[in-house]
Amino acid sequence: MFYRLRGTLIHTEPGMAAIECGGVGFKCLTSMNTLRAMPHEGEEAILYTQLNVREDALDLFGFATLSELNCFKMLTGVSGVGPKAALAILSELTPEQLAVAVATGDSKALTRASGVGNKLAQRIALELRDKVKNIQSGSSASARPVGAVSASSNAAAAVQALAVLGYQPTDAAAVVAHFDSSLPVEELIRLSLKSMDQGNRGKKQEGM
């Protein structure tokens, strides 16, 4: 229903940001990472949103980047992970840190989030890695883009991590190929996410 909100930031508090659009104030539940990226109150802000419909409430979640929104969607798709746990994880880990943790099976990194124990962290890492395997097995070898990366390179690890976040491996590989494959995996992920976020913003503006 809502793709994003663009308006004046009128209030923030732990776990929440309110944006006024057209005279209406929208309360968005969010992560601490997004709150740290917010401008000062009274300035323009943009949040990418997800509306969760429950029997007793409508909850609007908002994030500073599409990458973080994708993380939220992926996390809440894991059995036993609700919005509260997903926000806790995204308050401790950036999208690139989450992607690396899942791609490498580092469930311990996920336990830094409040309320996330060892069993839940292991389930998250396992289920998201399984999703990546399914995505990759569904992509034919002939569909690999120009500039596809070596399986043994940091770039390949970055592509796998981006797939964790919901990006198609072929699309991720095409973006990662623009950067120096000798860079650390987390830096490759950060640069790729920034590039894809900017590309998505450009496409959205062209369609307006």
- State whether 30 and 114 are in the same domain: no
- State whether 43 and 75 are in the same domain: no
Kindly tell me if the per-residue pLDDT of 207 is higher than 90: no
Give the chain's domain count. 2
- State whether 39 and 110 are in the same domain: no
User: 120 or 146, which is more confident?
Assistant: 120
Residue 137 has what pLDDT? 57
Mean pLDDT over 70-90 rounds to 93
- Choosing from 18, 49, 64, the residue where a domain stops is 64
Residue 84 has what pLDDT? 95
Any domain includes 27: yes
CATH of the domain at 123: 1.10.150.20
pLDDT in tens, 171-192: 888 999 999 888 888 888 889 8
Residue 105 has what pLDDT? 83
Any domain includes 153: yes
- Choosing from 64, 95, 110, the residue where a domain stops is 64
DSSP string, 122-189: HHHHHHHHHHHHHHHHTS-GGGPPTTPPPTTSHHHHHHHHHHHTT--HHHHHHHHTTS-TTS-HHHHH
pLDDT in tens, 48-69: 999 998 888 899 999 999 889 9
Any domain includes 208: no
Mean pLDDT over 78-93 rounds to 94
Residue 166 lies in domain? 67-203
